């Protein structure tokens, strides 16, 4: 009366109907569970794919940075050694200090006179300045930070001082000094220093 495929389908229908009646299991719940499991599996696969992609991207960035460091190291080895000017530590004595060293013959108490400088403690020299290696490292850092702002420069000389350190920068062809002037605040923030002042014109020199 029924063909073999039809009989098979009818038998399966009776089987599942009977199984549902005796066990009380809802096939809709089963389908929901299967669908939820497939959804969780798809999310896990997508997250795994994203992690693999991010790991490959991080390796690629690391490889590119290592290559850039190697290229920069070769450039540094070929370039002219950085010229570091000697630090002048001797302090000139002001005229007022020399004048107040003389003991007055008569005491005067005129109103409005300033207190003598002898009340102040003499300046103490800590003797702690940046070494040549530290100045060299800071020069390379200045170049790297400006390169992050798409500005190519080369630090050719450094003049360290007790308060201010002067870095002489040789600009790449086509680079305007005003571009670095506009980046002075960003450069100070990147170098973790209080302020950076850019002198665009130095008489007798082609650097800034």
User: Is 64 contained in some domain?
Assistant: yes
Question: In this structure, are 93 and 143 located in the same domain?
Answer: yes
Residue 152 per-residue DSSP state: -
Closest of 146, 169, 162 to residue 83, by C-alpha = 169
Classify residue 174 by its DSSP letter: T
Number of domains into which the chain is organized? 2
Same domain, 72 and 88: no
* 191 and 93 together in one domain: yes
**CATH number of residue 163's parent domain:** 3.30.980.40
> What pTM did the predictor assign?
0.47
Which three-class secondary structure state does DSSP give residue 159?
strand
* pLDDT of amino acid 125: 56
| Sequence-distant (≥ 6) Cβ neighbours of residue 199 within 8 angstroms | 208
Give the structural domain span for 96.
Answer: 81-119+128-208
Q: Please state, in angstroms and as integers, the Cα–Cα distance from residue 54 to each residue in 49, 155, 181, following that order.
A: 9, 36, 37
Low-confidence ranges of the chain (pLDDT < 70): 1-7, 11, 14, 16-27, 76-80, 85-118, 121-129
Per-residue pLDDT of 48-97, as tens digits, reads 888 888 888 888 888 888 887 777 777 766 666 777 766 655 555 666 66
Q: Is 170 helix (H, G, I), strand (E, B) or coil?
A: strand
């Amino acid at each position: 009366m029924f063909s073999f495929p039809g009989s098979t389908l009818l038998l399966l229908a009776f089987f599942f109907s009977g199984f549902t009646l005796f066990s009380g299991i809802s096939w809709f719940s089963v389908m929901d569970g299967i669908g939820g499991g497939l959804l969780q599996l798809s999310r896990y696969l997508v997250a795994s794919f994203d992690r693999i992609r991010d790991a490959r991207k991080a390796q690629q960035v690391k490889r590119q940075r290592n290559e850039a460091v190697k290229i920069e190291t070769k450039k540094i080895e070929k370039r002219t050694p950085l010229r570091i000017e000697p630090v002048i530590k001797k302090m000139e004595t002001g005229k007022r200090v020399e004048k107040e060293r003389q003991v007055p013959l008569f005491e005067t108490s005129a109103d409005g006179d300033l207190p003598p400088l002898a009340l102040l403690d003499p300046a103490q020299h800590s003797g702690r300045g940046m070494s040549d290696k530290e100045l060299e490292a800071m020069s390379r850092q200045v170049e790297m930070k400006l390169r992050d702002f798409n500005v190519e420069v080369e630090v050719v000389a450094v003049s360290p001082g007790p308060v201010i350190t002067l870095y002489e920068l040789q600009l790449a062809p086509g680079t305007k000094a005003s571009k670095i002037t506009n980046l002075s605040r960003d450069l100070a923030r990147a170098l973790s220093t209080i302020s950076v002042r850019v002198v665009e014109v130095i008489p007798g020199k082609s650097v800034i």
